[in-house]
């Protein structure tokens, strides 16, 4: 009966995750947000279906490796080659500005240095899934604004790995010479691999004639590349996650990219569901409710800060106002990498549990409000395209839907009021006539 109970719990988890993912997919939003919601519903502050968090955490760690492996496979160094003059400076300025603001906040608000560095990295990164969805909905994915936005997201993905290595060394021992050496070696490996891929072009993988096209061997080979590179990196003292990313980057720029990506992606989707489910389990609804004002305030501050910073950076790098505005708005939400950085920081006690809860709450809110963000982006696009110059024109363009709805409501209210007054007057006249008849 114990096995039946375990299977029932697994069934509840999978069904809930699928249902929440389908709901968000129906509203044209990333299913990842649905998996977060499923974790909240199944977790300690929900229905308490999942009680063994250790097992979920173990699968989530595998999901992280698969996530970075797939991200590496989806990156094209050739795409970055043609836009690196914009993408690399943009990400560098985003990171430096975010770190400076958070370091100043650490002195003013008493935040620990480790937490300030972590928050600086978190604010600098954006959500690739949400940004791509916004570009698709706006029909701008293939336009210039889409290309520069994707290029910046690719550069952010590359910058995430050094960030992860730094965060992993923010524990009680601090960022010492050994940690700096680790980051330096990792950076040199990444630079050497990217340079090699640009020079050599798309090369074939070992044993590709045997592996590619084989139903059983292809997905297994993908897992071997992922976990094999992770194990090698871990054995030499580097981050296993970094090894998974480098392996994915090498395969993603090889001749076998498409067939391997097709067979590995379903496995990664399941592992990714488990990872975001585990993040949802960490979300404390009681904490969110008790600190609701602070969570919303931080969400608003981060969104406005990132929007203004991104627009300024794109405009500084030579983009037109319209493209700078739209690109800056689209990548102004927090990203999925926030959870990875937070998980690493929690594992080494670089941040407190309260700080981790606040970070997770703000990030979940940022992703969960993506439907409203899409609507806002469309309205802001209208403002950018029409080159509005006065505050009244901006207001009219932004709230055109609400103004139309308000006008319709006002017309309906006037008609209803007029009909009511006519009926009331008619009834009053009838009552007056009856009164006069009785007393005549």
Read off the pLDDT of residues 346-403 as tens digits, 9 standing for 90 and up. 777 778 778 888 888 888 888 777 657 667 766 766 666 666 555 555 555 555 554 5
The set of residues, in sequence order, having a beta carbon less than 8 Å from that of 201 and lying 6+ positions away, is none
With beta carbons less than 8 A apart as the criterion, state whether 128 and 336 touch: yes
CA distance 14 to 226: 25
Closest CA to 271 of 216, 222, 326: 222
End-to-end CA distance of the chain: 91
Which residue bears the tokens 């906040």? 105
CA distance 327 to 306: 11
The set of residues, in sequence order, having a beta carbon less than 8 Å from that of 327 and lying 6+ positions away, is 145, 148, 149, 152, 310, 314, 319
pLDDT tens, residue by residue, 246-303: 888 888 888 888 888 888 878 778 877 887 887 787 788 888 888 989 899 999 899 8
The region of weakest confidence among 1-5, 217-221, 266-270, 292-296 is 1-5
Q: What's the CA dihedral at 36, 362, 129, 200 to 10 degrees? A: -110
The DSSP secondary-structure symbol of 141 reads S
| CATH class as words, domain 52-389 | mainly alpha
Backbone phi, psi, residue 175, to 5°? -95, 90
Could you tell me the residue ranges of all domains in the chain? 52-389, 399-438
Amino acid 1: pLDDT? 47
Amino acid 314: pLDDT? 93
Q: What percent of the chain has pLDDT over 70?
A: 78
pLDDT tens, residue by residue, 124-167: 999 877 787 778 777 777 788 888 888 898 888 888 878 888 88
- Decide: helix, strand or coil at residue 387: coil
Average pLDDT score over the chain: 78
With beta carbons less than 8 A apart as the criterion, state whether 124 and 94 touch: yes
Amino acid 181: pLDDT? 77
For 303: left if phi > 0, alpha if psi spans -120 to 50, otherwise beta; the answer is alpha
Closest CA to 186 of 228, 235, 232, 246: 246
Q: Residue 275, class by beta-carbon neighbours within 10 Å (0-12 exposed, 13-18 middle, 19+ buried)? A: buried
Is 80 exceeded by the pLDDT of residue 74?
Answer: no
> What band does 89 get if pLDDT is binned at 50, 70 and 90?
very high
Q: What is the pTM (predicted TM-score) of this model?
A: 0.73
Residue ranges of alpha helices (H) inside 202-336 are 208-211, 217-235, 240-252, 257-282, 285-290, 292-316, 321-330
Which residue bears the tokens 């969400």? 299
> What band does 169 get if pLDDT is binned at 50, 70 and 90?
confident
With beta carbons less than 8 A apart as the criterion, state whether 190 and 364 touch: no
The region of weakest confidence among 171-185, 210-224, 332-346 is 171-185
């Amino acid at each position: 009966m114990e096995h039946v109970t375990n299977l029932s719990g697994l069934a509840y988890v999978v069904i809930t995750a699928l249902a929440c993912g389908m709901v968000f997919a129906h509203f044209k939003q990333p299913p990842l947000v649905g998996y977060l919601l499923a974790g909240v519903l199944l977790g300690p502050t929900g229905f308490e279906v999942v009680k063994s968090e250790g097992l979920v955490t173990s699968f989530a760690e595998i999901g992280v490796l698969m996530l970075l492996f797939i991200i590496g496979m989806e990156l094209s160094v050739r795409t970055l080659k043609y836009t690196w003059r914009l993408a690399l400076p943009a990400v560098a300025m985003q990171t430096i500005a975010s770190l400076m603001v958070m370091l100043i906040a650490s002195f003013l608000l008493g935040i620990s240095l480790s937490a300030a560095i972590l928050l600086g990295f978190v604010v600098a990164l954006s959500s690739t899934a949400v940004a791509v969805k916004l570009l698709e909905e706006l029909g701008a994915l293939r336009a210039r604004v889409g290309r520069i936005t994707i290029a910046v997201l690719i550069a952010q993905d590359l910058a995430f790995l050094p960030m992860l290595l730094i965060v992993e060394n923010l524990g009680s021992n601090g960022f010492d010479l050994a940690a700096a050496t680790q980051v330096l070696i990792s950076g040199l490996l990444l630079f050497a691999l990217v340079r090699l891929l640009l020079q050599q072009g798309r090369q074939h993988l070992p044993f590709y004639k045997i592996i590619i096209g084989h139903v059983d061997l292809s997905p297994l080979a993908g897992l071997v590349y992922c976990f094999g590179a992770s194990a090698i990196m871990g054995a030499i003292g580097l981050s296993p996650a970094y090894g998974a990313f480098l392996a994915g980057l090498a395969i993603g720029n090889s001749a076998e990219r498409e067939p391997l990506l097709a067979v590995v992606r379903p496995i990664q989707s399941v592992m990714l569901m488990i990872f975001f489910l585990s993040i949802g389990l960490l979300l404390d609804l009681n904490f969110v409710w008790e600190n609701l004002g602070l969570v919303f305030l931080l969400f608003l501050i981060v969104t406005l800060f990132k929007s203004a910073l991104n627009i300024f950076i794109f405009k500084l790098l030579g983009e037109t106002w319209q493209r700078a505005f739209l690109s800056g708005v689209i990548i102004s939400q927090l990203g999925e990498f926030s959870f990875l950085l937070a998980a690493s920081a929690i594992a080494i006690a670089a941040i407190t549990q309260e700080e981790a809860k606040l970070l997770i709450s703000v990030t979940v809110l940022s992703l969960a409000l993506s439907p409203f963000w899409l609507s806002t982006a469309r309205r802001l696009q209208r403002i950018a395209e029409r080159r509005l110059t006065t505050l009244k024109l901006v207001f009219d363009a932004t709230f055109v839907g609400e103004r139309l709805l308000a006008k319709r409501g006002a017309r309906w209210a006037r008609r209803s009021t007029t009909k009511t007054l006519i009926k009331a007057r008619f009834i009053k006249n009838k009552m007056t006539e009856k009164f006069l008849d009785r007393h005549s």
